[in-house]
Amino acid sequence: MAILGAGTEDGLWMAKGICKSYRILLMDEELQKLTALSFIVAQHYKLALTENLLSSKEAGWEADIIVLAAPAEVQPAIARRISEVATCKTVILLSRNESQMANISAILPQAHLVEIMLTNTAEGNSLKAAISGTSASGIETAKLLLDCCHPAEITIQHLITV
């Protein structure tokens, strides 16, 4: 599994949640963020298997599941970089305020796209996650990953046909 944009708050949240169950390729364009993230994940779970990569295409090539945790404004650029290697792979978009599904599905038409819309709970100390996607198996994969992250609530919104 590759987390592209791993140095973001959402990337760190996902990495810490899944590091006990999955080998993770961490990708961020900022080497300092990657180094710090690897240290944090290792502190969270000493047996975590992580590898740092600076190339989104290389990370996408090596992984069966790709998580785009980068900010929404750069997700389309990253999607273009991985388009050759994302065919028939599950690509999970971590989003906050607005859906990126339409933008990314145009760039990655052969991927199994899933979007996890994250929102803070009313208390602000936990996250809620709503899942939608173009593939039932992709949605199930996203749910399995989220189960590792322990959000306050998981909602499966709908299967999208494109």
Structural domain tally of the chain?
1
pLDDT tens digits for range 84-115: 999 999 999 999 988 899 999 999 999 999 99
What residues are paired with 158 via a beta bridge?
A: 132
CATH code, 14: 3.40.50.720
Residue 127's pLDDT band, with cuts at 50, 70 and 90, is confident
pLDDT tens digits for range 34-47: 888 888 888 877 77
One-letter identity of residue 21: S
- Phi, psi dihedral angles at 116 (to 5 degrees): -110, 110
DSSP 60-127: HHH-SEEEE-S-GGGHHHHHHHHTTT-TTSEEEEEESSS--HHHHHHH-TTSEEEEEEEEE-TTSSSE
Q: What does the alpha-carbon distance between residue 33 and residue 140 come to, in Å, rounded to a whole number?
A: 30
- pLDDT at residue 161 tops 80: no
Q: What does the alpha-carbon distance between residue 25 and residue 72 come to, in Å, rounded to a whole number?
A: 20
User: Containing domain of residue 87, as a range?
Assistant: 2-159
Q: What is the mean pLDDT of residues 112-138?
A: 87
